[in-house]
Amino acid sequence: MYGNVDAAIKFFKTLIDVTAEDKGMKMQQSQVDPCLLYLHEDGELKLIVTITVDDCAVSGHPTDVKWFMDGLESRFNIIRGGTLRKHLGLDYVWGFDEEGGKHFVKATMSKKGGATIDQLERFLQREVMIRPTPGKPGQ
């Protein structure tokens, strides 16, 4: 894919075609964000797929995720990455709230933010001052 300026858009268009409503997978493309696909069955949301260049993050019940991945393998060579731990600078922590009885995911950018601040401080050769946000004009 690298070195070919058209590769990402060709992959995206092929992926949309393979997963289309009128094809076997019956995925729908979001009208708000074309990089988001979803599957409804019997009025229930079954899958959400987010697409970033040549990566997909698939959310849903494990059997539905397997069905989607198996369908992709009919056209693409894929790598099943397992549970999402890090993507686009975000770190994901999966857990279960015993009190509320619900599964959750916590997404943070503390590592990326800390690395950015460290790099800025090295460049400025001084400690960065902490300011309240949002900043006001001229401050």
Tell me the average pLDDT across 4-10: 85
Query: Exposed, middle or buried by CB within 10 Å (0-12, 13-18, 19+), for 48?
Result: middle
Among the listed residues 33, 71, 28, 24, the one whose alpha carbon sits nearest the alpha carbon of residue 46: 28
* pLDDT above 90: residue 37: yes
- Summarised one tens digit per residue, pLDDT across range 68-80 is 999 888 888 888 8
Tell me whether the omega of the peptide bond preceding residue 62 falls within 30 degrees of 0, making it cis: no
The structural domains of the chain, with segments of one domain joined by +, span: 7-82, 83-126
Query: Exposed, middle or buried by CB within 10 Å (0-12, 13-18, 19+), for 39?
Result: buried
pTM confidence score:
0.67
The torsion region of residue 84 among left (phi > 0), alpha (psi -120 to 50) and beta comes to beta
